[in-house]
Every structure is written in C-alpha cells, then in structure tokens.
Amino acid sequence: MTEHEKDPTDWTVDAPAEADFPAWRQLYQGYADFYRTPLPDENADRVWSWLMDPEHEVRGLLVRGEDGVPVGLAHYRPFARPLHTSIGGFLDDLYVDPEARGSGAVDALFGRLREITAEQGWSVLRWITAEDNYRARAKYDQVAKETSWVTYDLTPGG
C-alpha cells in the first residue's frame, strides 16, 4: 500500500440517501463526462429516482471517506442467465473522483460489490468498459477475469 493509498476498511460504502443527491449528481456528471456522454438534469433525476425506489431493480452504492463525503459511486442490478440457470449481477456504472483514485476507494467499492454478489446468491458480477479505459482495466484485471465476449448494441428501428 502506498503512502497515498488508504486501507479499504478506512472507507464506508453504503446505499445513497436523499441527502446525497448533490454529491451523487456531481460524481455521476464526472462519469458522464469521462465517457463524453451528455447527462441532462432529467436523465440524472430519473436515475436518482430509480436509486431511491426500493421496488426498482437498479441499486446504488457510494463510497465515503472519514469526512462522510462521497468520492465514488456504483450502480448495479440483477440479470437472468438462462443458459447457466442462475442470476448474475450487472455493474452498470462505476466511478471514483480523480482526486480519490489510487486511495483504496475503488477497492472498498469492489469489496462491497463482492459481498452483495455473495449475499444475493449471484453466480457472477459482470461489467463492460471502454477498450481504451486503461487505468480502470488495470484495476479490473486485479479483481476479475476478462472475458472473450464482444458487446453489440441493437437499437429500436435502426
């Protein structure tokens, strides 16, 4: 562990609460900016409403330092795996503020995601990332196995 890096146990990882909206919105904007994707307020508001709705499938996590301020987020949900006759988890979004990268915050998020995967009885937690997201991929290579699957997007009417 480097001098800059904190032990993952120094971080708190929990679900977002209503009062976390401004911090979450700033982090989610950083995530959208990284992927050069517009994030209009109405889209952010919709995702936030999903996170606040206990009946919605999308769940969220925030990682906080000792001061309680969120420095990272994760959004995840279950998905069916018919060929494996199991349920897996899908990690839709993962983002840590650039100032907190290398600090152990992402390790704390992955630790909690691993616990959730076990608690839910999921067979796997899966995610995708950009091919050129080299820094994140270096971390992902430490915590998970890269697959050989290629991703395609089919759009309605197109």
127-141 per-position pLDDT tens digit: 999 999 989 999 999
For the purposes of burial, counting CB atoms within 10 Å of the CB of 62, is it exposed (0-12), middle (13-18) or buried (19 or more)?
buried
Residue pair 94/79 in contact by the 8 Å Cβ criterion: no
| 7 secondary structure, DSSP code | P
Which percentage of the chain shows pLDDT scores above 90?
A: 87
Alpha-carbon distance of 32 to 50, in angstroms, equals 17
pLDDT band at 5 (very low <50, low <70, confident <90, very high): low
Domains of the chain, each with CATH number or no CATH:
9-143 (3.40.630.30)
71-123: pLDDT as tens digits? 999 999 999 999 999 999 999 999 999 999 999 999 999 999 999 999 999 99
What is the average per-residue pLDDT within 137-151?
93
Instruction: Please check the confidence at residue 157 and state whether its pLDDT lies above 70.
Output: yes
